[in-house]
């Protein structure tokens, strides 16, 4: 179980680090015209940046506390935070009637919950 948690946490960390960096570093106008980012035009630029920052912090929180041994309780907290972000994304895609992205958001939500619950159940951060 511990190996599965590390693999899923690592993959989620990479995914959210990349996604968050894109939201933070790419200008809003450019991001809103990107092929898979139609949702951006339905929220404000400030919210997009905040989501990006949360995703970066969540990605770091999935890995760094477990690797360093400093505050490892933050791993499930970070996973729950990312699950919350994905729940919000899923609600947005329901509203936009976008089942493809809704499904993807629900998969990421489930994986984040897997890490959170697994880390709490095993007593290991990841």
The phi and psi torsions of 12 (rounded to 5 degrees) equal -65, -40
pLDDT of residue 36: 79
Length of the chain: 126
Residue 100 near residue 113, CB atoms below 8 Å:
no
Write the pLDDT tens digit of every residue in 74-112. Answer: 999 999 999 999 999 999 999 999 999 999 999 999 999
Both tokens assigned to 86: 């994905």
pLDDT tens-digit map of 1-36? 689 999 999 999 999 999 999 999 999 999 999 887
The residue with greater pLDDT, 43 or 1, is: 43
- Tokens read off for 14: 């990479």
Residue 44 phi/psi, 5-degree rounding, is -75, 160
């Amino acid at each position: 179980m511990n190996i599965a948690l590390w693999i899923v946490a690592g993959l989620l960390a990479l995914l959210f680090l990349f996604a968050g960096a894109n939201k933070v570093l790419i200008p809003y106008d450019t991001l809103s015209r990107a092929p898979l980012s139609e949702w951006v035009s339905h929220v404000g630029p400030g919210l997009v940046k905040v989501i990006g920052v949360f995703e970066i912090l969540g990605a770091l929180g999935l890995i760094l506390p477990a690797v360093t041994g400093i505050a490892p309780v933050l791993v499930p907290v970070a996973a729950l935070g990312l699950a919350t972000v994905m729940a919000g994304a899923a609600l947005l895609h329901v509203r936009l009637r976008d089942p493809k992205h809704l499904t993807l958001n629900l998969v990421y939500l489930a994986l984040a919950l897997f890490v959170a619950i697994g880390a709490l159940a095993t007593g290991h951060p990841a």
